[in-house]
Amino acid sequence: MVGNQEGIGTLKLECPQNHPVGRILKDVPHQMTQYDPGVAVGPRRFWPGEDENLQFKTLCRHCDKPVGDATATLRTKFSDLANSMSETVDMVTLPYI
């Protein structure tokens, strides 16, 4: 049975070399959006953080290089995904910064 998945989603983040650098996600519609850097890196936290209002930055642990994008850009991509009636997962490549 297919349910309405509107309001939830997982935006997978990767570096330009296709290494995973985390996920922006919402598991249930009434929950706050979270950033999950991966179990080997650290715990989930609310997203965006206080210091990420303009720019989201993280480190690719495989390349050891910083990556990021404008928070507004990522927020729009995640919002589009969360509002989709058919898609719940998408991928975004973050540029090196």
Q: What is the pLDDT of residues 42-87, one digit of tens each?
A: 999 999 999 999 999 999 999 999 999 999 999 999 999 999 988 9
The domains of the chain are located at 9-82
Q: How far is residue 65's CA from residue 56's CA, in Å, rounded to a whole number?
A: 14
Residue 93 pLDDT > 90: yes
Highest mean pLDDT out of 16-20, 38-42, 83-87: 16-20
First to last CA, the chain: 43
Classify burial at 30, counting beta carbons within 10 Å of its beta carbon; exposed 0-12, middle 13-18, buried 19 or more. exposed
Alpha-carbon gap, residue 27 to 88, rounded angstroms? 10
Q: Residue 30: what pLDDT? A: 86
User: Does residue 1 surpass a pLDDT of 90?
Assistant: no
Residue 25's pLDDT is what? 96
Give the residue among 5, 20, 23 at the shortest CA–CA distance from 62. Answer: 20
